[in-house]
């Protein structure tokens, strides 16, 4: 078996050309390059992504979240298979903050999306196995651009965490879908977590069979809650739909809503503006993380931080004064 070439010796223009032609091996290698922490790999990754930017932006970017057990993987597996059957190319990416703590990845073996993982026109990629949520999200954004350049029509970004990861995924996608369970108090839980404020659609899953009546009741609760909330856009009121990812019920109608949202936002110019705003926020997030990383590695700050942290923890120094001391030591 021939060993792959050393990433140091990668010909970036050739890799970009192969990726654009739909070469899955080239896409996988490009993503590995983007995820690498080695400085020379990061330099090559920046060159690659920059060269591919003119060929990105054509895909539908859809974020999907939901509480554990809601059936995200089953729904994505079925939805993705439906879309592939309709002639589209689908990429599924994960933003998994838990992987940064444990080193694991919920999509690592792809067994939870058995049908979709077998499709030639589908690509499933877990989040990087380490790093902060911000770092994981940055790599996911770049992976999304690579998939678009490779010709994928739909990018599904799944968040397997809760809280900040939901907001992070909502800020990198065009449409944010929230899956909920019928009954079990999830209506109040969803409202309390503030998910409804960033949702473009609520889909009550597992609405088949005995769960149908509970799903109808839950959908009514969500509609009532959404009715009293200020819509993010005058061109869209988030709908509430009933689906069954397991039995493939309601998924075509659900996807039709996503397509309708895309059409409306393209026509109004909101989609283009939203993406511009996302790019700028991404720039500032990356800048903040870079500056913080430099701060942590600066020898002057490293010499001061343990003592200042101890004094702040003991109440001997205010956090404000500690920050001023660090800034003064760095000449800021």
Domains 1-55 and 56-268 share a fold: no
pLDDT in tens, 56-74: 999 999 999 888 788 999 9
The structural architecture, per CATH, of the domain 56-268 is 3-Layer(aba) Sandwich (3.40)
For the chain, list residues with pLDDT below 50.
1-5, 7-8, 100-109, 186
Task: Identify whether the C-beta of residue 146 lies closer than 8 Å to the C-beta of residue 29.
Answer: no
Q: Residues near 144 by Cβ (< 8 Å), separated by ≥ 6? A: 59, 61, 91, 93, 155, 157, 172
Buried b / exposed e over 253-272, threshold 16 CB at 10 Å, is ebbebbeebbeebeeeebbe
Domain edges within the chain: 1-55, 56-268, 282-329
**HEC letters along the chain:** CCCCCCHHHCCHHHHHHHHHCCCHHHHHHHHHHHHCCCHHHHHHHHHHHHHHHHHCCCCEEEEEEECCCCCHHHHHHHHHHHHHHCCCCEEEEEECHHHHHHCCCCCCCCHHHHHHHCCCCEEEECCCCCCCHHHHHHHHHHHHHHHHHCCCCEEEEEECCCCHHHHHHHCCCCEEEEEECCCCCHHHHHHHCCHHHCCCEEEECCCCHHHHHHHHHHHHHHHHHHHCCCCCECCECCCEEECECCCCECHHHHHHHHHHHHHHHHHHCHHHHHHHHHHHHHHHHHHHHHHHHHHHHCHHHHHHHHHHHHHHHCCCCCHHHHHHHHHHHCCC
- CATH number of this structure's domain 1-55: 1.20.5.170
Distance of CA 290 to the CA centre of its chain: 20
pLDDT (0 to 100) of residue 102:
47
* Alpha-carbon gap, residue 329 to 322, rounded angstroms: 11
pTM value is: 0.85
pLDDT (0 to 100) of residue 95:
81
pLDDT (0 to 100) of residue 56:
95
């Amino acid at each position: 078996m021939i060993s792959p070439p050393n990433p140091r010796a990668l010909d970036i223009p050739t890799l970009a050309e192969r990726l654009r032609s739909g070469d899955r091996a080239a896409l996988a290698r490009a993503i590995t390059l983007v995820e690498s922490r080695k400085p020379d790999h990061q330099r090559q990754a920046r060159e690659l992504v920059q060269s591919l930017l003119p060929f990105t932006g054509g895909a539908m970017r859809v974020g999907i979240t939901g509480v554990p057990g809601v059936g995200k993987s089953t729904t994505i597996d079925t939805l993705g298979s439906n879309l592939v059957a309709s002639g589209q190319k689908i990429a599924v990416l994960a933003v998994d903050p838990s992987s940064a703590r444990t080193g694991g990845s919920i999509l690592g073996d792809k067994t939870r999306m058995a049908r979709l993982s077998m499709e030639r026109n589908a690509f499933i990629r877990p989040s990087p196995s380490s790093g902060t949520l911000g770092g994981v999200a940055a790599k996911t954004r770049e992976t999304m651009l690579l998939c678009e350049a490779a010709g994928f029509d739909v990018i599904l970004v799944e968040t397997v965490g809760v809280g900040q990861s939901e907001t992070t995924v909502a800020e990198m996608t065009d449409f944010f879908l929230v899956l909920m369970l019928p009954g079990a108090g999830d209506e109040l839980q969803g409202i309390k977590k503030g998910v409804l404020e960033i949702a473009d659609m609520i889909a009550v899953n597992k609405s088949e069979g005995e769960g149908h009546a509970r799903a109808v009741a839950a959908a009514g609760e969500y509609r009532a809650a959404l009715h009293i909330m200020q819509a993010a856009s005058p061109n869209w009121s988030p709908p509430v739909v009933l689906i069954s990812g397991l039995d493939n019920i309601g998924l075509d109608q659900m996807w039709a809503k996503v397509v309708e949202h895309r059409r409306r936002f393209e026509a109004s110019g909101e989609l283009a503006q939203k993406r511009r705003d996302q790019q700028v926020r991404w720039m500032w997030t990356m800048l903040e993380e870079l500056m913080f990383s430099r701060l942590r590695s600066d020898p002057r700050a490293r010499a001061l931080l343990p003592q200042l942290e101890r004094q702040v923890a003991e109440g001997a120094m205010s956090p404000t004064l500690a920050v001023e001391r660090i800034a003064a030591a760095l000449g800021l």
